[in-house]
Chains A and B, each alone.
With several copies, the nearest count.
Chain A
Amino acid sequence: MLAEQAKILENRDRGAGVFLLKLGSPLVARQARVGQFVQLLISENYDPLLRRPFCFYNIDQDNGQIEVLYQVVGTGTELLSRKKAGEKLSVFGPLGRGFEIEPDLESAILIGGGIGWAALNKIHHKLALRDIHYVPFFGARDLGFYQAIGAGEVIPIPPGNIATDDGSYGYHGFITELVEAKINEEFHFSKPTIFACGPNPMLKAVQALAGKYDLKAQISLEARMACGFGVCLGCAVKKAHGEGYFKVCHDGPVFNADEVELSKI
């Protein structure tokens, strides 16, 4: 966990408001783990005031590089999208608790929703190469967004495992419906672990699925953040058991699905 002046190596427009940012950030890259995140300082002035959190889309420790896949949604991401290769950017990280891939993992399901795929990209690459029963799923609003995210670009996702909100590609509907069908069809002999990141409604559906089929699920959450390292106590998410709140930046962003209450975040 440190702050480093990184160099922007690339900030590529992938269409549909999605950009891929490649940073030379050797110290952060060295410590980074899948599912953790960084806080980027987007403005040297005070508007926007706070850093913005983004997870690692890719970590290249050998070359001291990290990648962030982001979607333009507001002031900060809009400003970020205008930065050019060669400029500097203060990177603070790696932060939080990432995904845990147990060594004896037998089977796995990956569920990415929209830009949430960014958190899963690296795990997708890792799991696909392992000798386990592994099935990735991806949902997006439409074909254009699917292409911009590039979920299946390097290592393909079976077309049957893709859903879009408008039906412009793959299944017309929620990705979790596809997942449930597959669980019923395919996973008779092993209990897959779910790894998921996406919008809150999707994560709630994942919680429900995991509960119904008694599956372990690791879900990556988002919350409004100020500090990103546990001192402001701002990024609260309700504990499912007992009183009180976890801090998404410190106790997460990855949680076991049964640890957290997603009704309010």
Chain B
Amino acid sequence: MNNPDLSTGLGPIELKNPVLTASGTAGYGLELRPFFDIAELGGIVTKAVTPEPRVGNPPPRLWETSCGLLNSIGLENVGLAAFLKDILPLLQKINTRVIVNVAGRTEDEYLEVVRGLNGNEGIAGLEINISCPNVKQGGIAFGTDPVMAAALIKKVRAATDYPLIAKLPPNVTDIVIIAERVMEAGADVVSLINTLKGLAVDVNTRKPCLATITGGLSGPAIKPVALRMVHEVYQALKIPILGGGGIMTADDALEFIICGAGAVSVGTAIFRDPKAPLNIAQGIKSYLAKNNIGGIRNLIGSIDLS
């Protein structure tokens, strides 16, 4: 198979290949241009956008753990107005899918961002971040309670025609129920997983290593948990899934796709190597060619449970 078909889809969103950047790990995507042509990616998921600009959390915001990274950025971003004025026009010129990550402290804040984004060209979908562990109000509360999560998604659904990706929190007892509820409420896709809530302590000062005490754990450490959740949700619901969490290599991405992800998001890997998303896309292509698999769609959810 010389030219396997990398194209894939996440519900209504068509993608030229299954590799996206994860929200908050590649800025607005534009920052990767010095390293490669970002039109080579399936898409870009932007840093979270909130109604007003946010300065984010006090430092320290980062702590490295074994094969993992704890972060507590606190949704620092330029705000809706600046996103529309300064950033979206640049993204519109690039031939790749742009998915805007939306966050807020209250339902109204989510809705304000969604309405502000409405009617703009060049937005392939919205990723509704109901799972950020680093914001005091809102954020995680919406995601961990299936009822609240569904209520929010329902309102967002009513407010926009963009395809909706609900980004769920992994810090829950039953990810399947939440996934089911947000799909019933009108989401087209679920995004799994956001960071695991974690903590580290400096034993010399006895202080937490992050100013906000706890933070979100990403990187290879969390991959087994992320894969398990993608697998559980796919087996139970067979819905479109944007999978991610600890993807560093093409093989990692393939694990997610085999478990049922229609596309994958690459985050922390970018910090080791800004070209990681491109290398992963190319690696997936080689795998398909080597194994004589016609296209990525043949692989999605093809786990052999016999």
- Which residue on chain A has the smallest CB distance to residue B47? A233
Determine whether the beta carbon of B273 is less than 8 Å from that of A3: yes
CB-CB < 8 A to B62: which residues of A? 224-226, 232, 234-235
**Given A3-B273, A231-B27, A245-B76 in contact, is the A49-B55 Cβ separation under 8 Å?**
no
- Which residue on chain A has the smallest CB distance to residue B75? A233
Q: Of the 9-residue stretches A19-27, A40-48, A96-104, which lies at the interface with chain B?
A: A40-48
Determine whether the beta carbon of A244 is less than 8 Å from that of B55: yes
Determine whether the beta carbon of B58 is less than 8 Å from that of A234: no
Determine whether the beta carbon of B34 is less than 8 Å from that of A2: yes
Main secondary structure of the interface of A (DSSP, over half): loop
B31 CB–A CB distance under 8 Å: yes
Question: How far does the alpha carbon of A49 sit from the alpha carbon of B63 in the complex, in Å?
Answer: 11
Which one, B26, B68, B211, contacts A231 given CB within 8 A? B26
B138 CB–A CB distance under 8 Å: no
- Which residue on chain B has the smallest CB distance to residue A247? B76
Interface size on A, residues (CB 8 A): 34
Interface size on B, residues (CB 8 A): 37
Which one, B56, B66, B271, contacts A226 given CB within 8 A? B271
Shortest Cβ distance from A49 into chain B, in angstroms? 6
A237 CB–B CB distance under 8 Å: yes
Determine whether the beta carbon of B73 is less than 8 Å from that of A231: no
**Given A3-B273, A232-B25 in contact, is the A49-B268 Cβ separation under 8 Å?**
yes
A227 CB–B CB distance under 8 Å: yes
Which one, B25, B56, B64, contacts A49 given CB within 8 A? B64
CB-CB < 8 A to A1: which residues of B? 34
Please give the residue numbers on chain A whose beta carbons come within 8 Å of chain B beta carbons, in ascending order. Answer: 1-3, 41, 45-51, 90, 92, 223-238, 243-245, 264-265
- Which residue on chain A has the smallest CB distance to residue B68? A49
CB-CB < 8 A to B248: which residues of A? 46
Shortest Cβ distance from B203 into chain A, in angstroms? 13
CB-CB < 8 A to B56: which residues of A? 233, 236, 244-245
**Given A2-B35, A230-B31, A238-B58 in contact, is the A50-B272 Cβ separation under 8 Å?**
yes
CB-CB < 8 A to A232: which residues of B? 24-25, 62, 71, 73, 271
Shortest Cβ distance from B246 into chain A, in angstroms? 9
Which one, B59, B273, B275, contacts A223 given CB within 8 A? B59
- Which residue on chain B has the smallest CB distance to residue A244? B55
Shortest Cβ distance from B133 into chain A, in angstroms? 15
Which one, B61, B219, B274, contacts A46 given CB within 8 A? B219
B175 CB–A CB distance under 8 Å: no
Question: How far does the alpha carbon of A203 sit from the alpha carbon of B108 in the complex, in Å?
Answer: 44
Shortest Cβ distance from B219 into chain A, in angstroms? 6
- Which residue on chain B has the smallest CB distance to residue A239? B55
Shortest Cβ distance from B184 into chain A, in angstroms? 34
CB-CB < 8 A to A237: which residues of B? 59
Determine whether the beta carbon of A264 is less than 8 Å from that of B58: yes
CB-CB < 8 A to B64: which residues of A? 48-50, 224
CB-CB < 8 A to B27: which residues of A? 230-231
Closest 4 CB pairs of A and B: A244-B55, A234-B62, A231-B27, A236-B59
21 inter-chain pairs at a CB distance below 8 angstroms, sorted by A residue, are A2-B35, A3-B274, A46-B66, A46-B219, A46-B220, A49-B272, A50-B69, A51-B271, A224-B59, A227-B25, A229-B274, A231-B26, A231-B27, A231-B31, A233-B56, A233-B73, A236-B56, A236-B61, A238-B58, A238-B59, A243-B55
Question: How far does the alpha carbon of A45 sit from the alpha carbon of B47 in the complex, in Å?
Answer: 27
